[in-house]
Structure 1
Amino acid sequence: MRLLIIVFIGQFLLSAAPAAAACGNGPGGFDAWLDSFVAQSPRYGLDPGTVQAALRNVRYDPKVIRLDRNQKSFKLSFEQFYAKRVNDAMIRKGQKLLGTHARLFNAIERKYGVPAPVILAIWGLETNYGAFIGNMPVLQSLATLAYDCRRSDFFTNELVAALIIVQQGDMSPADMKGAWAGEIGQTQFLASSYVKYAVDYDLDGRRDLIRSIPDVLASTANYLAQHGWRRGQGWGPGTANYDVLTQWNRASVYVQTISVMASRIGG
């Protein structure tokens, strides 16, 4: 039943696009926008009481807007980006974790077909293997970006997804801390991806991409598998699996970095 609910919600998110009220380019209209969003929350399949409680302390965050307007890393060349984001210590740590979690990685590959070095590369590149998952309030970041006119529809969808995560009991609003654009957990899932692809691999009754390493790694593999990962094949440029990696992050320097990191970790 839970799987059917998740599938339904995933389909619903695709059509739950319109913003609650007029977007804005500054803090002036944010409170009115938020009140309107809460009032219209049932149209997204959300419980208004849950939404009101979750968003009670949310405020417009100018820091999020500054960061949104200042994404320079993806304009670097691959060599510059790789040198900035990866070093030998990260590769060695990935290789060590490959041994530490060998049994878990083997089980995940049997189920999803995605090899450990690829998952480790994503884990390392996103958060240095869980060391830096972000400490910004996800709901506040997403509400700010949903209100902001630049990508209002996209982030309204992400805000709805984040509230579905709360409503399902996977995370509390207080636990929901992440990167400035609302990415959650050790491999930085967007909230909509969390709803659709996160799995409760450790079978504790909740999908926890912050604290549960089994859930983190299996969910990352599930995401790639659901996007067409081909079992037993490589992941270098020109392969079908390289194309799958572009579904994780469309920036070419990012995809190339994952590919190279995975090859180095795997030896």
Structure 2
Amino acid sequence: MVKIIPWLSLAWAFQAAAAPATADIDGAVSQVAADFPQCIVTFSEQARREGISEAIIQSHVQPLQFVKRVIELDRQQPEFTQTFAGYFDKRVTDWRVSKGRELLAAHRPFLQQLTAQYGIPPQYLLAFWGMETNYGGYKGKMPVLDSLATLACDHRRSAFFTKELMTALKLSQRYGFAAADMQGSWAGAMGHTQFMPSAYARYAVDANGDGKADLWNSTEDALASAANFLQHLGWQRNERWGREVRLPKGFDYTLLNEQLPLARWQQLGLTSASGQLLPQAQMQARLYLPAGHQGPAFLGYQNFDVIKRWNRSNFYAISVGHLADRIAGAGKLHTPAPQQPRLSHQQIKALQQQLNALGFDSGTPDGILGSNSRNSLRAFQASKGLIADGFPDEATFKALGLNP
């Protein structure tokens, strides 16, 4: 079995339990800045032990710079939670759809070759490309080695980022990448498809045959690498990601946690978003309501779970899937994402505390509405005769005795 390291899109990975105070951020910045000279010594010693050449150590390790902004971004958490509409509408845009269709036409023969080899349809590769870097329009401008070194010198995830730094140095040594050319995200993700160094080392493909896998400058390498990675994640050939669906009146929302065959969902009254019968298939599917019962509903298949191994966010997976559908010629959502108020992390934390106080265990209050919190919220909603969709709407806040 291939061990998958899902460190590509990193926004989900670095959320703190609560937004740290400015003093805490300043303290972390000061600590890492003070430790950084010794960290360079430590990195150099480890690089030698791992067989990295002295030339790379002198050209890539010794000049490493502490980047204050990296620590600030690592410690910061938005004050407000993201709504589905706020996320989706900024990512599945008319421009991104039309550009994806244009690139589909331009790269069709090559993309079809990738489909034959890896089993990933062209529209999905383009959707990932569009979501990650706007089709290469913005690949990040942070110095990757400096960012990785800064995070490796920080005690929070030192072991992980030290390993990523060493891997990035080995990539430079293997392919001749100059340090200045290794630009990416603040957390070290690189290239058209935003691979972390470990993913780059495992799954990058030299598709154009020039002797190196260059995810910054070769579209062919980047798309082939994405296809290779998705295949290793378990992509099911000839299957969709999922689909938008319509729920029947009186739907039993306790089924939200259930994974059922598609045929069973049809028996329960679900149809396609346009009202057509669902396929009579035994493939497993799970229901998602990213904006609650008033928003669009989706069934996610096994490939939906594969997308989530790239990025664990349901919002991300739905956006990738729908963008792929749009690129392939489908229309917009039948039920648009509703505009909903953004809730602060403090509001969510208060909700969690109140649920716990009422005997609906949501775990340690952290201001993040995860699966445990949603499960307890559904149980509370059901106890009050509310629609038990696990979504914190105004009626739910009021039933909890809280101000939304």
Could you say if the C-alpha distance between residues 98 and 164 of structure 1 is closer, same or farther in structure 2, counting changes exceeding 3 Å? same
Q: Which residue of 2 aligns with 1:261?
A: 323
Distance 1:31 1:191 in 2: 23
Alignment of 1:6-25 (within 5 A): 25=31
Matched, 1:127 2:133: yes
Question: Normalized per residue, which structure has more strand?
Answer: 2
Q: Which residue of 2 aligns with 1:219?
A: 225
Q: Work out whether residues 39 and 48 of structure 1, in 8 Å CA contact, stay in contact via their aligned partners in 2.
A: no
- Structure 1 or 2, whichever has the larger Rg, is 2
Offset of residue 125 of structure 1: 0.8
Read off the aligned partner of 1:188 and give its amino acid letter: Q
Of 33-42 and 118-127, the range deviating more from structure 2 = 33-42
Matched, 1:159 2:221: no
Could you say if the C-alpha distance between residues 216 and 71 of structure 1 is closer, same or farther in structure 2, counting changes exceeding 3 Å? farther
Q: Secondary structure of the equivalent of 2:237? A: coil
Alignment of 1:68-217 (within 5 A): 68-72=74-78, 75-169=81-175, 171-217=177-223
Q: Which residue of 1 aligns with 2:53?
A: 47
Q: Work out whether residues 78 and 256 of structure 1, in 8 Å CA contact, stay in contact via their aligned partners in 2.
A: no
Q: TM-score, normalised by structure 1?
A: 0.87
If asked which structure has higher relative contact order (CA below 8 Å, sep 6+), I would say 1
Read off the aligned partner of 1:88 and give its amino acid letter: D
Q: Secondary structure of the equivalent of 1:26? A: helix
Alignment of 1:222-241 (within 5 A): 222-236=228-242, 237-241=299-303
Of 152-161 and 103-112, the range deviating more from structure 2 = 152-161
Picking from 237, 242, 245, the partner of 2:304 is 242
Offset of residue 148 of structure 1: 1.1
Of 104-113 and 35-44, the range deviating more from structure 2 = 35-44
Matched, 1:38 2:44: yes
Please give the per-residue CA displacement for 1:80-112, whole angstroms capped at 9, x wherever unaligned: 211233311111100111101111110111111
Q: Secondary structure of the equivalent of 2:155? A: coil
Distance 2:46 2:165 in 1: 13
Could you say if the C-alpha distance between residues 170 and 98 of structure 1 is closer, same or farther in structure 2, counting changes exceeding 3 Å? farther
Q: TM-score, normalised by structure 2?
A: 0.58
Q: Secondary structure of the equivalent of 2:300? A: coil
Offset of residue 170 of structure 1: 5.1
Offset of residue 56 of structure 1: 2.8
Read off the aligned partner of 2:61 and give its amino acid letter: L
RMSD of aligned alpha carbons: 2.2
Could you say if the C-alpha distance between residues 170 and 124 of structure 1 is closer, same or farther in structure 2, counting changes exceeding 3 Å? farther
Question: Normalized per residue, which structure has more helix?
Answer: 1
Please give the per-residue CA displacement for 1:50-88, whole angstroms capped at 9, x wherever unaligned: 223212321110111111223549941322211233311
Q: How many residues align?
A: 248
Distance 2:307 2:181 in 1: 28
Distance 1:164 1:75 in 2: 38
Of 244-253 and 99-108, the range deviating more from structure 2 = 244-253
Distance 1:48 1:57 in 2: 13
Read off the aligned partner of 2:322 and give its amino acid letter: V
Could you say if the C-alpha distance between residues 74 and 151 of structure 1 is closer, same or farther in structure 2, counting changes exceeding 3 Å? farther
Q: Which runs of 5+ in 2 are unaligned?
A: 6-29, 243-298, 330-404
Read off the aligned partner of 1:176 and give its amino acid letter: M
Could you say if the C-alpha distance between residues 201 and 169 of structure 1 is closer, same or farther in structure 2, counting changes exceeding 3 Å? same
Please give the per-residue CA displacement for 1:143-174, whole angstroms capped at 9, x wherever unaligned: 00111122212211211111110111252212
Q: Work out whether residues 136 and 179 of structure 1, in 8 Å CA contact, stay in contact via their aligned partners in 2.
A: yes
Q: Work out whether residues 104 and 122 of structure 2, in 8 Å CA contact, stay in contact via their aligned partners in 1.
A: yes
Q: Secondary structure of the equivalent of 2:209? A: coil
Q: Work out whether residues 32 and 150 of structure 2, in 8 Å CA contact, stay in contact via their aligned partners in 1.
A: no
Read off the aligned partner of 2:159 and give its amino acid letter: D
Identity, in percent, stands at 43
